[in-house]
Chain A
Amino acid sequence: MFNFGDVLDLPLIWGALIALAVFVYVLLDGFDLGCGILFPFAGSDKNRSRIMNSIAPFWDGNETWLVLGGGGLFAAFPVAYGIIMTGLYLPVIFMLFGLIMRGVAFEFRFKASSKRYVWDFFFFIGSVVAAFFQGVMLGALVQGLEASNRLYTGGPFDWLTTFSVVCGISLIIGYALLGSTWLIIKTEHKLQVWARKVSNWMLIALVLAMVVVTVFMYFSDIDALEGWFSLPGILYLAPMPIIVVALFFLMRKDLSTEREYRPFLLTVALFLMGYIGVCFAVFPYIVPYQMTLHEAAAADTSLSFMLIGAAIMLPIILSYTGYAYYTFKGKTDHEHLY
């Protein structure tokens, strides 16, 4: 039996891989959830069709990263998976309900004739619910979970706090920005003008939300966050607000010009900043402030076995995902004239 445990820090590698999978999920499903969040505001039914078409070939692949995040957590940190899923029981299941509603709306919307508005509504509300509860879960994780004896010991509503709700709303805004900047790439004419306008507002809202979340964390009593606001942590994190401000102004400028791709990439950079902040707060825990990556890791033999698969498959997955995106490149319009 192969075991790389002696030469590699397997829990750390798997922690990084899962963090990466979650981040890729947030970006990819983020833009299609964002499209769902903006969906009812797109003016006309035809525009809504365009928005849906711009994400229809991708949403399934995007959501697979969530399955990789969940499956990977189960595989690499089974005990953490158990504690987190039990602790976040209700938000996880509410998120799943949201994802179900919006997932089937892709198919049903075009099958329905008179009941079309029903699926439009579910596509919107499902996207909002999924985004909100993902943010809530993030907030609840940063606040920490109670656990002992490898089991969750907190109450069923521990996740519900002002802070987690603020995180939920922030993530709705963040996804909306990912969605609107995606639509700048995929649309043109009036819809694109609209997407730029929405991006502008969402950008301002997101940066405000980031400030609010940071202030909340500063005044919170989460011990682990002391690392954020004391030496030497503050030195590492000090450049981040500066980068965020720079990204903000760069994007404001881009949104008033003809640039199409860069606003999306700048949004990705903004998300990266927030994500680094979260990882910095939580590291080295996988069940925040209860179990570290090393304490919760699966057996080295299991991690080694999976690492072989991940090392072979992830580059392949990334290349054919890239191929799929390449196949459907271009605008949601006029491409019909092939």
Chain B
Amino acid sequence: MFAAVIDQLDALMLARIQFAFVISFHIVFPAFSIGLASWLTILEFRWLKTGKPIYAEVYKHWVKIFAVVFGMGVVSGVVMSYQFGTNWAVFSDRAGNVLGPLLAYEVLTAFFLEASFLGIMLFGWGRVSKRMHFASTAIVAIGTLISGFWILSANSFMQTPQGFMVGADGLLYPTDWLKVIFNPSFPYRYAHMITAAFLSTAFVIGGIGAYYLQSKRHSEHRAHGRVMLGMAMVMAIFVAPAQVLIGDEHGLNTLEHQPAKVAAMEGIWDDETGAALRLFAIPDQKNQTNKFEVAIPYVSGLILTHSFDKEVKGLKNWAPEDQPPVIIVFWAFRIMVGIGLLMVMVGLFSIYKYFKKQQFDQNSVWFHRAWMMMMPMGFIALLSGWFVTETGRQPYTVYGVIRTAESMSPLAAQQVATTLIGFIVVYAFVFGAGTFYILRLIGQGPKPYDDPADENFYEHSVTEGQGRTLSGDTHASDKTEQHGNEDLDSPANDVDDGGLR
């Protein structure tokens, strides 16, 4: 049966599905890392500044989650650096002159920085000074932002290419690196994505904070919940509305450079003056029209052109084979915008509760429930946004220059199908387990920080017999009780270690 399904799909479609699958899984983790690293930097700063143990406790707890998230980002990211070559060899060949150096700069300026200082951030407590440790956290955070800079520059080039020429051999040749890097959509996309990463993370943190405030099992974590929810509220109140404005600017930029994408986002087929906002519609690409349309006149035109009488170009300006798959773009855009507006509303709710001084009140059940329900929403919006921009770029890989259909490696459908199934199985297992462990860490909650005088509270050390991992967990002894703790005091006891012959 499965083979029959495979036969229906050609190698190209399978390769596209594979790329969409591995990149969608991947992007969640770097986005979460970007948000968490910056937040942890602020937490550690506040701890150093105030000396209040509560910040250290929250840091200590979240750095474990960060380690799991970052680890999953690394392994799914290594896959990405090979995916271009394995499945998209022709694209790599033709666009390599331009995109290759951008990715090389990402590795050189960001990946090594993050990886090296992550080790110090996670294990360095007690080995480096507090300042150095704080610096390591900050460097990891800066590394995530630099990494985002290059990868979004590369992606934006694929959306709005400039600063290159096409050679007689069909290859792209760079002519102006500044134009390539700072291509027209890059500043908007970078701002939009980093803000999205911050917001998505803030809503996870705030949701968990609200959970700690409400849950009876977590009565000892109320204070931590206050820190988390309080900081997340700041983001919802100020950054969520800012994101709406940034998104609007990004949309105007897209209208200028990729009008077909905007037409698909809005479900506009014919040129329309005072374009209507389609609240609901089922775009029908075959007949080049919408079904079941519910629309408000003028609103779309007002948003897109900031006027009542300017024209918005419809999809029919492009031949059907040059149009993106409208239904995906149309609905992904609605999901993203809907969640964005929900975030703003939660922000308004937060302002109201703040002025009533009830934001941490046990009785604010619905307020806290709203925050809890928002927990996964940021990431759903983030993925939807990427579906809009990537699907909206179709049928091109480099917009207007290289078609997706001509980008693929010479592979048989069976090969791509086999590895796609492999990726689905491995990712489901690995990321399922990762999510499970993150949820369990959240369920455990922060641990009390008993001795503020103890510089080494963090207990991050690689050089101990007791198992410690990236996240500084000390559970290694869970299953090794027979060894107990006593032999840590006396290394000579190692001789009694069983099992070695």
Q: Which of B124, B463, B488 has the most CB of A within 10 A?
A: B463
Q: Does A257 contact B (CB under 8 A)?
A: no
B interface majority secondary structure? helix
Smallest CB separation, A258 vs chain B (Å): 17
Inter-chain contact B75/A100, CB cutoff 8 Å? yes
A338, B71: Cα distance in complex, Å? 28
User: A56-B469, A103-B71, A111-B68 are known contacts. Are A86 and B463 too (CB-CB below 8 A)?
Assistant: no
Whether the Cβ atoms of A310 and B108 lie closer than 8 Å is yes
Partner pick for A104 among B128, B430, B501, CB 8 A cutoff: B430
For residue A328, CB closer than 8 A to chain B, the reply is: yes
Minimum distance in angstroms from B11 CB to a CB of chain A: 12
Stretch from A146-154, A203-211, A215-223, A261-269 forming part of the interface with B: A146-154
CB of A193 to closest CB in B, whole Å: 8
Decide: A110 near B476, CB < 8 A? Known: A190-B495, A336-B461, A336-B488: yes
Alpha-carbon distance A232/B214, docked complex (angstroms): 79
Whether A320 contacts B100 by the Cβ 8 Å rule is no
B53 close to A (CB within 8 Å):
no
Can you list 17 A-B pairs with a CB-CB distance of less than 8 A?
A60-B119, A61-B112, A68-B107, A68-B112, A74-B96, A76-B100, A78-B96, A86-B86, A89-B419, A96-B82, A100-B426, A107-B71, A152-B409, A190-B494, A299-B173, A302-B101, A332-B462
Residue in contact with A71 in the complex, picked from B88, B106, B494, CB distance below 8 Å: B106
Closest Cβ of chain A to B181, distance in Å, is 10
B498–A53 contact, CB under 8 A?
no
Q: Is B89 an interface residue (CB 8 A)?
A: yes
Stretch of A42-50, A245-253, A277-285 contacting B (4+ beta carbons < 8 Å): A42-50
| Residues of chain A contacted by B476 (CB below 8 angstroms) | 46, 49, 110
Contacts of B440 in A (CB 8 A): 111
Return the chain B residue nearest A318 by Cβ: B112
Interface check A244, CB cutoff 8 A: no
Which chain A residue lies CB-closest to B478? A113
Interface size of B as a range? 35 or more
Chain B residues in 8 Å Cβ range of A310 = 104, 108
| In the bound complex, CA of A241 to CA of B162 (Å) | 53
Tell whether, in the assembled complex, residue A338 and residue B126 are in contact, meaning their CB atoms are under 8 Å apart.
Answer: yes
Interface flag for B117 (CB, 8 Å): yes
Please encode chain A, from 62 to 97, with 1 for each CB lying within 8 Å of some chain B CB and 0 for all others.
011011101111111011011111100110110011
Identify which of A45, A52, A96, A305 gathers the most chain B CB atoms within 10 Å of its CB. A96
Asked whether B123 lies within 8 Å of A299 as measured between CB atoms, the reply is no
Inter-chain contact B419/A302, CB cutoff 8 Å: no
Known: A57-B462, A103-B75, A107-B471. A309 touches B89 (CB 8 A): no
Q: Confirm or deny: A275 has a beta carbon within 8 angstroms of a beta carbon on chain B.
A: no
Contact of B369 with A by CB under 8 A:
no
Nearest chain A residue, comparing its CB with the CB of B414: A156
Report the minimal beta-carbon distance from A175 to chain B, rounded to whole angstroms. Answer: 17
A10 at the interface (CB under 8 A from B): no
- B497 touches which of A44, A151, A324 (Cβ 8 Å): A44
Chain A interface, DSSP helix/strand/loop, else mixed: helix
Closest Cβ of chain A to B288, distance in Å, is 36
Chain A residues, CB < 8 A from B187: none
Contact partners of B498 in chain A: CB under 8 A: 43-44
The interface centre, meaning the residue of B77, B79, B82, B109 with most chain A CB atoms within 10 A of its CB, is: B82
Distance from B205 Cβ to chain A, minimum over Cβ atoms (Å): 20
How many angstroms between the C-alpha atoms of A57 and B140 in the bound complex? 14
What distance in Å separates the Cβ of B294 from its nearest Cβ neighbour in chain A? 45
Q: Which residues of B contact A67 (CB under 8 A)?
A: 77-78, 81, 107, 111
Please name the residue on chain B nearest to A84 by beta carbon.
B85
Any B CB within 8 A of the CB of A54: yes
* Residue total for A at the interface (Cβ-Cβ under 8 A): 94
Contact (Cβ within 8 A) B499 A47: yes
| Contact yes or no, A104 B72, CB < 8 A | yes
B475 to chain A: closest residue by CB: A110
Which of chain A's residues has its CB closest to B18's CB?
A93
- Are B85 and A328 neighbours in the complex by a CB distance under 8 Å? no
Tell me, yes or no, whether A138 is within 8 Å of chain B by CB.
no
Report how far A75 CA is from B106 CA in the complex, Å: 11
Residue of A nearest to B471 (CB): A107
Determine the distance from Cα of A324 to Cα of B271 in the docked complex, in whole angstroms.
Answer: 60
Q: Is the beta-carbon distance between A44 and B78 smaller than 8 angstroms?
A: no
Q: Select which of B68, B85, B124 is within 8 A of A70 by beta carbon.
A: B85
Closest chain-A Cβ to B101's Cβ sits at a distance in Å of 5
CA distance A111 to B128 in the complex (A): 25
Q: Nearest B residue to A85 by beta-carbon distance?
A: B85
Closest beta carbon of chain B to A47's beta carbon, Å: 6
With both chains docked as a complex, state the minimum distance between the C-beta of A333 and any C-beta of chain B, in angstroms.
5
B492 and A189 form a contact (CB under 8 A): yes
A74 to B464, Cβ gap below 8 A?
no
B497 x A56 contact (CB < 8 A): no
Quick check: B461 and A335 within 8 Å, CB to CB? yes
Please state if A109 and B469 are interface contacts (CB–CB under 8 Å): yes
Decide: B107 and A64 in contact? CB cutoff 8 A.
yes
Q: Is B293 an interface residue (CB 8 A)?
A: no
- Chain B residues with Cβ below 8 Å from A177 are none
Q: Which 7 A-B pairs have the closest CB atoms?
A: A78-B96, A85-B85, A43-B499, A75-B100, A82-B89, A49-B467, A335-B463
In the complex, which of the residues B119, B423, B480, B488 has the most CB atoms of chain A within 10 Å of its own CB atom?
B119
Give the chain B neighbours of A306 by CB distance below 8 A.
100-101, 104-105
For the complex formed, measure the closest distance between the CB of A271 and the CB atoms of chain B, giving whole angstroms.
22
A107→B470 contact, CB < 8 A: yes
Interface residues of A (CB under 8 A from B): 1, 42-47, 49-50, 52-54, 56-58, 60-61, 63-64, 66-68, 70-76, 78-79, 81-86, 89-90, 92-93, 96-97, 99-101, 103-104, 106-113, 116, 150-153, 156, 188-191, 193-194, 298-299, 301-302, 305-306, 309-310, 313-314, 317, 320-321, 323-324, 327-328, 330-338
Q: How far is the CA of A70 from the CA of B106 in the complex (A)?
A: 13
Closest to A189 in B: B494
Docked Cα-Cα span, A76 to B93, in Å, equals 11
Contact between B464 and A335 (Cβ–Cβ < 8 Å)?
Answer: yes
Inter-chain contact B78/A302, CB cutoff 8 Å:
no
Which of A45, A111, A151 lies in contact with B437, CB distance below 8 A?
A111
Does B74 belong to the interface (CB within 8 Å)? yes
> Are B415 and A85 neighbours in the complex by a CB distance under 8 Å?
no
Which of chain B's residues have a CB closer than 8 A to the CB of A314?
A: 108
With A43-B499, A74-B84, A74-B96 given, is the CB distance from A107 to B462 under 8 Å? no
Contact check, A101 vs B426: say whether CB atoms are below 8 A apart. yes
Q: Are A75 and B96 in contact (CB under 8 A)?
A: yes
A301 CA to B98 CA in the complex, in Å? 9
Does B90 make an interface contact (CB < 8 A)?
Answer: yes
Given contacts A188-B494, A333-B491, contact A85 B89 (CB under 8 A): yes
Given the known inter-chain contacts A107-B67, A302-B174, please indicate yes or no for A324 contacting B473, CB distance below 8 A.
Answer: no
What is the bound-complex CA distance between A66 and B111, given in angstroms? 11
Cα-based distance from A157 to B99 in the complex (angstroms): 30
Q: Are A150 and B111 in contact (CB under 8 A)?
A: no
Tell me which residues from 176 to 212 in chain B have a Cβ below 8 Å from any Cβ of chain A: 176-177
B317 at interface, CB cutoff 8 A: no
Instruction: Report Cα–Cα, A306/B109, bound state, in Å.
Output: 11
**B127 at the A interface (CB under 8 A):** yes
A90 touches B415 (CB 8 A): yes
Which chain A residue lies CB-closest to B85?
Answer: A85
Distance between Cα atoms of A338 and B328 in the complex (Å): 58
A190, chain B: closest CB distance, angstroms: 5
Chain B 325-366 per-residue mask, 1 if CB under 8 angstroms from chain A, else 0: 000000000000000000000000000000000000000000
Asked if B166 is at the interface (CB within 8 A of a chain A CB), the reply is no
Q: What is the distance, in angstroms, from B108's C-beta to the closest C-beta of chain A?
A: 4
Whether B123 and A56, one on each chain, are in contact in the complex, defined by CB atoms closer than 8 angstroms, is yes
